[in-house]
Structure 1
Amino acid sequence: MKILRAALLLLLCSTPLAQAAAPARVVGLGGQITEIVYALDAGERLVGADASSIYPPEALKLPKVGYFRSFSIEGVASLRPDLVLASDQSGPPQALEQLRKLGSPVVLLPSEPSLEALDQRIMGVAKALEIEARGTALVRKIHAELKAVQPAARKPRVLLISSHTGKLQGAGDDTAAAAMLKLIGATNVLASQQGYKPLSAEAAVALRPDVIVTGNMSVDASGSLDAFLAQPGLSATPAARGRRVIVMEDLLLLGFGPRLPEALRQLEAGISGKAGAR
């Protein structure tokens, strides 16, 4: 009888019914990661996200756990996640380790602004959620759409600006926005710089950009597009004088996520003067 019971128990443990269920309570740390979950039609599994998770609109309704670079351990733990999907820039590291000690599996995903890393992000999320077929389909869809995106006919000098904190920050190389400019063949006037750095009024004037690219939040922080362009330095540039400005939704511009083809189309249209510039 004992042998029979043992055999029955072994059989039950080997059946799909006894396997661990796919993650159902997920927290996203990083706007690009959260957006991928929604793009994979798995948004219903999200029970929380960080403050950078601003797209799609449903993400704004999720309980927030702070900013992914300095998230709240208590905030995440209170949501009782069975999976935390995090950008590899999430932290600090000891906070991630504490989550693991509390019993929450943490999957770190690459944040680099490259097509290879985007594929890895998507497939990493899909594998963690046990929906790999959806991940493969999404990657194929993105690459198919990218083939249809035409490089900008003009090769203007573009200045990428962030000023939602009230101070001008210029985007150099190794940023998502700069990587997108490369994909459409435009020239980043700050390509010799790494990452985002403060930009003085004098430097902005000297760069003489033909086009300025920025996010909604930077314009909103100024109160209006006119006020944004009137900032010292920007107002004297050829781009500001000609009102050649492309304003994009922030995560679309900065996320290098599943909407990459859409972001490139908006940039190309703005640069060519078809649409998107104001």
Structure 2
Amino acid sequence: MFIHRIHLLLLLMILPCLTIAAPPVQRIIALSPHVTELAYAAGLGSKMIAVSDHSDYPPQAQSLPKVANYKGIKIEKVLILKPDLVITWPDGNPPRELQKLQQMGVQTYPSQIHQLSDIADNIEALSQYADNPEIGLENARQFRQQLAALRQRYQHTRKVRFFYQLSEKPIITIARNSWPSEVFEFCGGENVFKESAAPYPQVSREQVLLAQPEVIFNSHHAIKNMDMWSDWSRIPAVRQHHVWTLHSDWLNRPTPRTIRAIKEICQYLDTARQNN
């Protein structure tokens, strides 16, 4: 009897320390194109059941149902699909709709990326939901490794003054600390509008002329009139034919493919250095 009481007492002491393991995550939704790409990089491809509009990479994501776009999140569609996890984009998804999902008991993971190192950090964090976390951990390791190699290669290069055009009418650019400014700075780009008070300032052609950039970057995604600077030869970039079109998905989506954007920009900046 005494021994049984001891066993009971020990059991009562241990029970509060025991935790019930959460059921594995099997059904995942991503609410932005870059979040979709990060999820696949983390090894979650087989668990994806829905994504946002324009989630076109990797290709297998294109056939999944779409439950979000620039207008917002289709809450009813999300709930009907009964996800175990929704990967959100707090900087882009409407806060009120994200709050609704949480109030309805939907488990969410907020993917926040403000600098290059956050890409690998997000992949590592998401890999915890994969059946094989090593896939995500390896992809994160490779990203950091490639980033370190590029940093070592370009850390002592001459600065090149650039202007990055996000749109045509109105002309919008980026300031310091706004994505993807770090991508340009990585290999020696110096943003001519880096000191602007607004993160994405609106500028005029005359302001670009006064700034005298050595390079102008744009993209087919944002600019319809690719010849809009052709008659502004007083701008060094135009005069020296340093107006280049970038692959917008590589640059504007913070994912492992950002490495490709860095390499592309670095090659163009190297060309500008050689021509000056």
TM range (shorter): 0.7 to 0.9
Partner of residue 195 from structure 1, selected from 179, 192, 199 = 199
Aligned to 2:162: 158
Alignment CA distance shift 1:234-1:101 (3 Å): farther
What does residue range 32-111 of structure 1 map to in structure 2 within 5 Å? 32-51=34-53, 53-67=55-69, 70-111=72-113
TM-score (norm 2): 0.78
| Partners of 2:232 and 2:166 in 1: CA distance | 12
CA distance in structure 2 between the partners assigned to 1:65 and 1:232 by the alignment: 41
| Aligned residue number for residue 142 of structure 2 | 141
Q: CA deviation at 1:154?
A: 4.1
Task: Tell me if structure 2 keeps the 8 A contact 1:154–1:272.
Answer: no
Q: In the alignment, is the contact (CA less than 8 A) between 1:204 and 1:234 conserved in 2? A: no
Given that 2:171 and 2:204 are in contact with CA atoms closer than 8 Å, whether structure 1 keeps it comes out as: yes
Contact kept, 8 Å, 2:121 with 2:140, in 1: the verdict is: no
**Residue 19 of structure 1, CA deviation:** 6.1
Kindly indicate whether the alpha-carbon contact (under 8 Å) linking 1:229 and 1:235 is maintained by their aligned counterparts in 2. no
Shift of 1:187: 0.7
Q: Which amino acid aligns with 1:262?
A: R
Q: Which sits farther off after the overlay, 68-77 or 184-193?
A: 68-77
**Highest Rg: 1 or 2?**
2
Specify whether residues 105 and 266 from structure 1 end up closer, same or farther in structure 2 by C-alpha distance, changes over 3 A only: same
1:176 partner letter: W
Aligned length: 249
Q: Distance in 2 between matches of 1:266 and 1:206?
A: 27
Supply the distance in 2 between the matched residues of 1:129 and 1:184 (Cα, whole angstroms). 34
Instruction: Indicate conservation of the 8 Å contact 1:201/1:232, yes or no.
Output: no
Contact kept? 2:120, 2:141, Cα under 8 Å = no
Deviations 1:100-156 (A, max 9, x none): 2333211112221231x2232112221244543323212211111123222184421
Query: Aligned partners of 2:45, 2:243: CA distance in 1, in Å?
Result: 33
Match of 1:270 in 2: 268
Runs of 4+ in 1 over 4 A off after TM superposition: 18-21, 231-236
Identity over the aligned pairs, expressed in percent?
23
TM-score normalized by the length of structure 1: 0.78
Structure 2: gaps of 5 or more residues: 1-19
- Distance in 2 (CA, whole Å) between partners of 1:46 and 1:236 is 51
Describe the superposition over 1:1-46 as per-residue Cα deviations: whole angstroms up to 9, x where unpaired: xxxxxxxxxxxxxxxxx96553222111222221111223432322
CA contact (8 A) 1:204 1:233 kept: no
Provide the residue aligned with 2:179 in structure 1.
Answer: 176
